[in-house]
Amino acid sequence: MHPWLILLLPLHALASTKKPHGVSPELAARYIPVQKGSSEVWECLDGSKTIEWSAVNDDFCDCPDGSDEPGTGACPNTRFYCVNEGHIGAFIPSSRVRDGLCEPECCDGSDEAPGVCKNVCKEVGEAYRERVRAEQKLRKTGAKIRSTYIAFAQKEKKRIEEELAQTEREIATREKEVSRLRDLVERTESLSAAALEVRKQSPLYQILMTHVTALKSLKREYQKHLEREKALGEILDNLRTGYNPNYQDMAVLEAVRGWEHLASLPHINDVAKEDDSTADTGSDEEAGEEEEDQPDDGLWSELQLEHQLDELLNTDYEALLLEHDKLVGAPASETSILYNLSAYLPDAVVPQYEALRDQLVSWLEALGLVKSAPTVSADASRLQKALSDAEHSLDLTRKEKEQKEKELQRLFDPEWYGAEGEWKKLDGTCLSKEVGDYIYEVCLFDEARQKPIKGGSTFSLGHFESRNNAPGVVKGSPEYYRKQRYTRGAKCWNGPQRSVTLDMTCGTENAVLSVAEPEKCEYEFKVTSPALCLPLSPAEEKGYAASKKEEL
């Protein structure tokens, strides 16, 4: 017998004389009779009534709260306590006392009359302690692995923080580069605008501009004349068709004949006599006249003037000026051979050569032998490209930073890698189990899948959504981590979208033990992981050490 059992014995012996049957240790102190005159009395626990001490456990309900019958089933809705010496005490409903059935909760058989049920508390207690010991042993082993996960998370934290700092430095550098380039682009643009102004002073450009102005003026005058001719034609047409020939006014008749000749019209008096066919020949004549108008020596026709003149006048002359510059000027060409040469030199010599070359070029420029290369549009567009490249890189680096911040924030978030970061190590770890014709797989914090072994398409069973989100489960509690929900999987035919619940327990390995489908398209994986093996509490540690001694 163990020392603590020996210690308990006298106490128990004492309790058995005083404490009535079926009373739990917490209430034992309240089941003490009071001497009143010659008899012993006792007050019901709710204080409503005082009864004779002999009425306690007399198999008749006296107290309204039923407290006088802890060891019988006489009062309704009361609880009976089995001491279960050698194991752990337990309550059963009083209605099951003396009903002739041995309760598994009462291994000492105290719910029935002596001799009815065997006291099996020694065996039950030993098996229980063995189970607890095994579980604690597993937890201790698992917790050791779990602590390496936590150490991993700490290392990850350091790594991400360092990377974050690096990214921040990179952003600062890139921001500087962007603002430098932006400044340069602005300056180059104003510089090229100035250079353009200089080029516009060229006599060729000046005379071109004068031509343009003259053309525009001519066009305007031409339009005016066209309108005037049209108006005059209308006046004369009216005169031709409206004059009275009976007046024999020679001035009017001459004007009409003159107009008819100029506009190639038949005499108004003949018009009525002529039929349609002569009208046709008239139009043929007109067509013939137009042909005669065909210009020679490259001059523009009326049609060309009408359609192409505007186009010509809308030409971007400044762009042409720059284009022209490239074609004829390229002042840098005088020294470009010096720049191109470096491509043919051995790498080792290049820096010295470049220094020498720059010196040489500046001398040549100083002596007026070559003109310094003015930076105009080509440089501006090259700079613009460099600027947008730099802005793009800055943008990417900023996004990278956001990504890292998110990663860091998730590291110790109960909703992600746990308050101690113990799940980070398992991020993306895939566990699988073959069941029937399928391999069921879950990649933690990512996706669960169903892969057919004999060919066919893989179905998504869902994507990581949450931990145990059942009502009443406290975020971060052990129970919270015991479940993971994967939802929004492939839709079932005529059913919901597939989903998976991981039912997780402590184990020394990350593994899927079993797969079930309790509801259509809702799967349940039983999974073990060291991440769930919490270290023993100091009290548990003590108990474990004692049980190990017992084992020896």
> 39 or 362, CB closer to Ca ion?
39
> 72 or 136, CB closer to Ca ion?
72
> In the complex, what is the shortest distance from the CB of residue 82 to Ca ion, in angstroms, rounded to a whole number?
10
Nearest alpha-carbon partner for 521 in 478, 486, 550: 486
- Identify which range of 7-15, 93-101, 224-232, 300-308 contacts Ca ion by CB under 5 A: 93-101
> 90 or 322, CB closer to Ca ion?
90
| Cα distances (Å, whole numbers) of residue 513 to 37, 506, 518 | 70, 12, 16
Token representation of residue 515: 């797969």
Position among 11, 101, 194, 356 found at the interface with Ca ion (CB under 5 A):
101
Amino acid at 494: N
Q: Is 96 in the site for Ca ion (CB under 5 A)?
A: yes
Give yes or no for a contact between 163 and 146, defined as CB atoms under 8 angstroms apart: no
> 68 or 441, CB closer to Ca ion?
68
Position among 19, 31, 68, 487 found at the interface with Ca ion (CB under 5 A):
68
Q: How many residues bind Ca ion (CB under 5 A)?
A: 10
Task: Map the footprint of Ca ion across residues 411-450, applying CB under 5 A.
Answer: none
> In the complex, what is the shortest distance from the CB of residue 96 to Ca ion, in angstroms, rounded to a whole number?
4
> In the complex, what is the shortest distance from the CB of residue 471 to Ca ion, in angstroms, rounded to a whole number?
36
Site string for Ca ion, 103-142 (x = CB under 5 A): x-------x-------------------------------
Token representation of residue 80: 């009976």
**Phi, psi (5° rounding) for residue 70?**
-70, -25
Site string for Ca ion, 239-278 (x = CB under 5 A): ----------------------------------------
Distance in angstroms (rounded) separating the CA atoms of residues 550 and 2: 9
DSSP-assigned letter for residue 531: G
Distance in angstroms (rounded) separating the CA atoms of residues 255 and 262: 10
Tell the burial category of 147 from Cβ atoms under 10 Å away from its Cβ (0-12, 13-18, 19+).
Answer: middle
- Identify which range of 67-75, 119-127, 160-168, 326-334 contacts Ca ion by CB under 5 A: 67-75
> 96 or 401, CB closer to Ca ion?
96
Position among 12, 30, 48, 99 found at the interface with Ca ion (CB under 5 A):
99
Collect all residues with Cβ–Cβ distance below 8 Å to 517 and sequence separation of at least 6: 523, 524
Amino acid at 340: N
> 45 or 332, CB closer to Ca ion?
45
Pairing relationship of beta strands 511-519 and 499-506 according to DSSP bridges = unpaired
> 116 or 263, CB closer to Ca ion?
116
> 67 or 528, CB closer to Ca ion?
67
Query: What is the maximal distance between C-alpha atoms in the chain?
Result: 170
**Per 3-state DSSP, what percentage of the chain is helix, strand, and coil (rounded to 5)?**
55, 15, 30
> 42 or 259, CB closer to Ca ion?
42
User: Nearest 5 degrees, angle CA 29-CA 30-CA 34?
Assistant: 105
Element (H, E) at 440: strand 438-443
> In the complex, what is the shortest distance from the CB of residue 38 to Ca ion, in angstroms, rounded to a whole number?
20
DSSP-assigned letter for residue 298: T
Site string for Ca ion, 465-504 (x = CB under 5 A): ----------------------------------------
CA 120 to chain centre: 60
Task: Map the footprint of Ca ion across residues 36-65, applying CB under 5 A.
Answer: 55, 58, 60, 62
| Binding footprint of Ca ion on the chain (CB under 5 A) | 55, 58, 60, 62, 68, 96, 99, 101, 103, 111
